[in-house]
Amino acid sequence: MTQANFKRIIVSAIIFGFLGSNISLAATSTPGFAGQNVCDRLTGFISKMETRVAEREQKITSRKQEKQEKWSDKAVQWDEKREEKRQQAETRQSEFLTRLENQAQTEAQKQAVVNFRTAVQAAIEARKKAVDDAIKAFRSGVDQMLQARKTSTDALVTVFKAAQKSAFDKAKSSCGSGIEPKTILETLKTELKAAQDKFQSDRQAIEKAAEQVKTLNQTKKNAFEKAHQDFKTALEKAKADLKAAFPQPTPGISSAPVATPTP
pLDDT at residue 250, rounded to an integer: 58
User: If DSSP states are collapsed to H, E and C, what string results for 130-180?
Assistant: HHHHHHHHHHHHHHHHHHHHHHHHHHHHHHHHHHHHHHHHHHHHHHCCCCC
- Write the pLDDT tens digit of every residue in 176-227: 787 888 888 889 889 989 988 988 888 887 777 668 888 999 999 999 999 9
Q: Which of 214, 208, 212, 211 is CA-nearest to residue 4?
A: 208
Q: What percentage of the chain has pLDDT greater than the value 70?
A: 78
Whether the per-residue pLDDT at 111 is higher than 90: the answer is yes
CA of residue 128 relative to chain centroid, distance: 24
Once rounded to an integer, what is the mean pLDDT over residues 63-92?
Answer: 89
* Alpha carbon distance 150, 144 (integer Å): 10
Residue range 77-101: average pLDDT?
Answer: 91
144 vs 23, 186, 216, CA distance in Å?
Answer: 45, 42, 11
Comparing CA positions, the residue from 142, 141, 138, 124 lying closest to residue 227 is 124
Contact by Cβ (8 Å): 261, 127? yes
Q: Are 130 and 226 in contact (CB under 8 A)?
A: yes
In Å, the largest CA–CA distance within the chain is 112
